[in-house]
Amino acid sequence: MGDYSDSPTTAMKLDPERATPLEAAQILSLRQDHVAACRAMALESAARVAPAIVAILADNYAKADANIAAFASRRISWGAFVSENQVLVTERRGQLLAAADQMQRTLQEKTAATAADRTPAERALANWTRQQQSLLPGQRVTDCRYDGALLSCTTG
C-alpha cells in the first residue's frame, strides 16, 4: 500500500504472514475513514469527464474492496494482498489510458464529422454572399463565416 502500491518489493510480495486482528482493524479503518472519501471525490470528478471513467473506477474499487476484505478476514497473506493490489492498480491505469485514447479518437472523429457537415453550409453561405453582392452592388451585404464551430455574421 502507499508508496509501493504499484511496485511492491519482492519481500512484500513473498510475505506469508496474515494480518493480525489489529492490522485488519487498521486497514478497514483506513479504508473507511480515508480511502472511501478519496474514492468518492475521484468518482465525482470522473463523472464530469465521462461515464466510462466512472465505470472503470467503480469496478476497480469493488475489486480492491474484495481484496481488502480477503486480507482483513485473514483469507490471504500480506504477499497476496500487495500482489493483487499491484495488479489492480496496473489494470486501472491501463483501462483509464485506453478510455482516454478512445475519447480522443471519438473527439477527433466528431471534429472531422462536424467540419465535413459544415462544408455544404460554408458553400451555401458563400453563394448567398455572392448573390447579395450581385443583387445589391455596392450595398451592404451580410457575410457569414465559421470560426471553428462558431458561425459569425457581419453586415458591412
Question: Domains of the chain: which residue ranges?
Answer: 2-108, 120-155
Q: pLDDT value at position 3?
A: 54
Rg (alpha carbons) of the chain, rounded to whole number? 28
Nearest one of 69, 85, 96, 93 to 7, comparing CA atoms: 85
**pLDDT (tens place) for every residue of the chain, 156 residues total:** 555 677 888 999 999 999 999 999 999 999 999 999 999 999 999 999 999 999 999 999 999 999 999 999 999 999 999 999 999 999 999 999 999 999 999 998 888 887 787 888 889 999 988 899 888 888 888 888 888 778 888 988
Distance CA 131, CA 5 (A): 68
C-alpha cell at 111: 471534429
